[in-house]
Structure formats: structure tokens, C-alpha cells
Amino acid sequence: MSITQASPPPAKKQRPPPQSTVVTAIEKVTPLVTRISVTGPDLAPFAQAKPGAHMKLFFPAGVWPPPEGVTNAPRPPSRTYTPRRFDAEKSRLEIEFVMHGAGIASDWAAKAVVGDRLLVSAGPGGGYPVPEGISNLVIIADDTALPAAGMVIEALPHTCHVNVICEIENAGEERVLSPIVASKPQWLHRAPGAAKPASLLQAAAASLSEQPVGTYYWIACEAAAMRSIRDNLFARAGVDRKRVHTRGYWKYGDTNYPDHDYGED
């Protein structure tokens, strides 16, 4: 009789600790959007971020790293954001905060001043791999996805035609999505009609005119609305699933929705 010794379980992969950065600039983009720039010595990986990539921001910054000798200390609470723009020469990262009410991230951004500390995850993840030879793209996005939409627009070949549909709170939230690539979004205003968030996007997507053969779609908004728009494209328009990239940025009733909802269910 032989005895087979069980293999030890694989070691749990250790995540690198958050990187410490310092706020260097704060800009009010619209009444509800604040752009905050931070710098840090270890931000180089953000130069390779794919359009629409994500990262974690940790709050409050003062509780990490733990004191020397303290092990297994829990990380501080985090929220997921888009690394909107990175200047490698200055090691400067720009992050846009939508001030949509009380929350650990928006509360921090509302009170932030130059010199404040912010913890950022070690490098960006995910993002949109721009299809080779793309010639037509429809972007459907709400407030939370506009920074990522701007990154996508900037990554497209100059020959690609872009149809952009954006849902925002009101006309005061209209803004330039990219300072280097022109676009003419169709703006959908929730106020003054008090429309439910993402409902205007769903209606606009359902009435979208027939697009050229080979059109791609980039959809990012509330998770349930994203699935509704996606399913409508598949069922009504017969769009090839491989041409649709979806992302649920948030979900009703969830204050810390995971950053990996790509609508692939």
C-alpha cells in the first residue's frame, strides 16, 4: 500500500502595496466633476494603461502602510477609478471625480488640497483593446464613464468615425471629452425631467439608427442598464457579440461595485 502525499495548496499571490502619491493640482471641470492630479515616484506603469483602464484608490491615505512589525493589516477601503491621463515626464496622474453625493471618494475629493496624500494601486488593469482596422465606433456612456470614453477616443485611428452618446445630469455638465481629439457627443440631460440614471441611454440605444456593417460598440454605465443595452443590440440589431465591449461601472444599491463587470454573463 502506497501513501500519496497531498500537494500543498498554491501560495496566495501577494498584491503589491498601494503607492503613495501627493496631490499637485485641483481643477473644477464642471459643477459636478473635479480633476485631481497626483505625482509619485512609482507611477511609471500607468504609461502603458489601455484606454478605459481601471485602478484602485484607497481611503483614508494615512492608515497605510501599517507600522513596522504589524503583519496582515487590512488594506483601507477602496474605490475604482479611471487613470484619465498620465504624463510620464512629470510622473503626474490625472483622476476625474464625479461628485454624485456622499461617499468616501467624493467626500475626499471635495475636501482635497494640494499636498494631500492619496494611495493608488500599483499599476492599472483592464481596458479596451482597440480592434485592428476599426472604422466605426459607437460610444454609449454615462457620467461615470466619461473619463474612460475620452481615453478610448484618443486611442482610435484618425480614420475611425465615432458616434458618441453621453448621459449627464444637466447642460452644465457638458464638456470636452478630449483636449486633443475632437468629438461631437449627443448629450442626454436627466434634469429637469428627473429621469432615472441610465434610462435615457437605454432609450437612445434602443432607437439608434442602423449602423454601417462592421461597427463596434463601447458601452459603459450602470450595470443593469449596460446589460439591457447590450441585449437589445444582440436581439434587435443582430450585432456580433465580438463587436460589443461592455462595462458596468456601478450598480444601484451597491456602494462599492467590483471593477471587473464586463457584462460577459
169: domain CATH number is 3.40.50.80
pLDDT given at position 16: 74
Rg (CA), the chain: 20
> What span, in angstroms and rounded, lies between the C-alpha atoms of 176 and 169?
15
**Count of domains forming the chain:** 2
Residue 130 belongs to some domain of the structure = no
| pTM: predicted TM-score of the whole model, two decimal places | 0.89
Domain boundary among 120, 155, 184: 120
Are residues 23 and 102 part of one domain?
A: yes
pLDDT given at position 139: 98
> What is the average pLDDT across 66-73?
74
**CB–CB of 211/160 below 8 Å?**
no
pLDDT given at position 73: 74
Of 10-14, 24-28, 98-102, give the lowest mean pLDDT range. Answer: 10-14
SS3 22: strand
Are residues 141 and 113 part of one domain?
A: no
The predicted-structure confidence for 112-141, as pLDDT tens digits, reads as follows 999 999 999 988 989 999 999 999 999 999
Are residues 231 and 147 part of one domain?
A: yes
Residue 107 belongs to some domain of the structure = yes
Are residues 141 and 116 part of one domain?
A: no
Residue 242 predicted with pLDDT over 80 = yes
Residue 131 belongs to some domain of the structure = no
Domain boundary among 90, 120, 150: 120
Residue 1 predicted with pLDDT over 60 = no
Domain boundary among 120, 149, 172: 120
Are residues 144 and 113 part of one domain?
A: no
Overall residue count recorded for the chain in this entry: 265
Residue 68 predicted with pLDDT over 90 = no
Residue 249 predicted with pLDDT over 70 = yes
Residue 255 belongs to some domain of the structure = no
pLDDT given at position 103: 86
- The CA angle 39-40-45, to the nearest 5 degrees, is 105
Higher pLDDT pick, 223 / 1? 223
Residue 14 predicted with pLDDT over 70 = no
Domain that holds residue 64: 19-120
Candidates 142, 117, 155, 135; CA nearest to 212 is: 135
Of 63-67, 102-106, 174-178, give the lowest mean pLDDT range. Answer: 63-67
CATH number for position 103: 2.40.30.10
Residue 6 belongs to some domain of the structure = no
Residue 199 predicted with pLDDT over 80 = yes
